[in-house]
């Protein structure tokens, strides 16, 4: 499973918020090819605010990505359950200027 910004466990989510604090980056239209014990793989869109001239006035842009939830570990809230601890995105057709083509995020908690 993966834990969302509201500490709720999710399996094969259709969308996932990356930027929990400000909502300026998230995943939509997620389609899963595999949801396994070690890794979950799929594809979707990374919707990112360009924050120009600032985040409040910015525009959201969508970028196709390959998605992988990785590195499962016990969930501190419920150690009997395992949750993915990292999210890897590989941009397949354009990307935000501030991000590399291949980026990994450590997930909380």
Residue 60: pLDDT above 90? yes
Share of the chain above pLDDT 70, in %: 99
Q: Which residues pair with 42 in a beta bridge?
A: 32, 67
Residue 109: pLDDT above 90? no
Measured at the CA of 73, the angle between CA 71 and CA 78, to 5 degrees, comes to 150
Torsional sign, CA 7, 91, 94, 96: positive
What is the reported pLDDT for 89? Answer: 98
Confidence band for 108, pLDDT divided at 50, 70 and 90:
confident
């Amino acid at each position: 499973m993966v834990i969302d910004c509201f500490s709720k466990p999710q399996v094969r989510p259709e969308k996932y918020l990356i930027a929990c604090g400000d909502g300026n980056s998230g995943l939509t239209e997620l389609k899963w090819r595999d949801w396994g014990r070690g890794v979950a793989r799929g594809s979707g869109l990374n919707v990112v605010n360009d924050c120009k001239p600032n985040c409040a006035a910015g525009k959201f842009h969508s970028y196709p990505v390959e998605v992988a939830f990785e590195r499962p570990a016990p969930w501190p809230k419920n150690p009997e359950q395992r949750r993915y601890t990292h999210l890897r995105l590989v941009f397949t057709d354009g990307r935000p200027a501030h991000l590399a083509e291949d980026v990994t995020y450590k997930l909380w908690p």
